[in-house]
Homo-oligomer: A and B are copies of this chain.
Amino acid sequence: MKKFDVEKIVNEIIEFIQDYYEKNKLKGVVIGLSGGKDSAVVLALFVRALGCENILSLWLPIHSSEDDYKDVLALAKQYKVELKKHDLTLIYDNYVEDIKKINDVKNTDLLNANINIKPRLRMMTLYYYAALFSSLKKQMYIVAGTSNKCERYVGYFTKGGDNVSDINVLTNLTVSEVIKIGEYLGVPDNIIHKIPNDGLSGQSDEEKLGVKYSDIEKVLNDYDIDFNIKDKINKLHENNLHKFNIPEYMGQKCD
């Protein structure tokens, strides 16, 4: 089994962030906090790399849980970063109402379509704040992504939503590696070990996916695993490849 040297990895990530910021004359970062471990670990890493004064964290509720908000408040306090609350619930509700009026459809027709508006409204808002703060503070802010390697592998993200970002530090780290980094950087236990969920459906991520993150990790590491589970995970992966490879007509061939 590959040894995971958490101190070394954390130092590499910090160096990676600092190098990119220096090379591109950047200064600040915008991070959307969900109350889950991934955004918390991203926050902790950027605080180390840039200093707490260059972090803008955002809580962007859309019918979200107050318990998650409490965890986000505690986290921002612990890491001494600015936290803005921007409630998107009313914008979301009005948007869905417009859809229903214009198309004469019922709530049940909208269930599938509604799922992805939330991460897209949040993406739009993270970028809005990055532009606003770049303008107000006269220094460049960019948006940090929070997806980890396991989510990426099975396509558990929204195209045009949480996959839109300016810098990614977790996309090549598995869930258990993210947890180790979080523990090392002092992210509170209740956040690190919270069962991942979208704060919406009442189901956990794993229930919705139908597979466990620990099993995705086994597939990624090529460990022994039940064939049917492996097959299910790789099918999820293949079915989501379209999110990464957008087909395009390649233009006139040389002939």
Interface residues of A (CB under 8 A from B): 2, 4-5, 9, 12-13, 16, 20, 24, 84-87, 90-91, 94-95, 98-99, 102-103, 105, 109-110, 112-113, 116-117, 120-121, 123-124, 127-128, 131-132, 134-136, 145, 149, 159-160, 164-173, 242, 246-252
Contact = CB atoms under 8 A, between A and B. Distances in A.
A169 B109 contact: no
Q: Which of A9, A13, A128 has the most CB of B within 10 A?
A: A128
A2 B164 contact: no
Given A166-B246, A250-B172, A86 B109 contact: no
Contacts of A166: 242, 246-247
Contacts of A246: 145, 165-168
A112 B135 contact: yes
A4 to B, nearest CB: 7
A17 B252 CA distance: 15
Nearest to A14: B249
Contacts of A113: 128, 131-132, 135
Contacts of A87: 98
The 3 A-B residue pairs whose C-beta atoms are closest, nearest first, are A172-B251, A113-B131, A160-B164
Given A24-B242, A160-B160, 14 more contacts: A5-B252, A9-B252, A91-B91, A91-B95, A91-B98, A103-B132, A112-B131, A113-B128, A124-B160, A127-B159, A160-B164, A166-B246, A166-B247, A172-B249
B99 A128 contact: yes
Contacts of A117: 124, 128
Contacts of A86: 98-99, 102
A190 to B, nearest CB: 26
A135 B166 CA distance: 32
A129 to B, nearest CB: 8
A105 B91 contact: no
Given A132-B99, A132-B113, A136-B105, A173 B251 contact: yes
A86 B98 CA distance: 8
Contact of A105 (B16, B102, B132, B252): B132
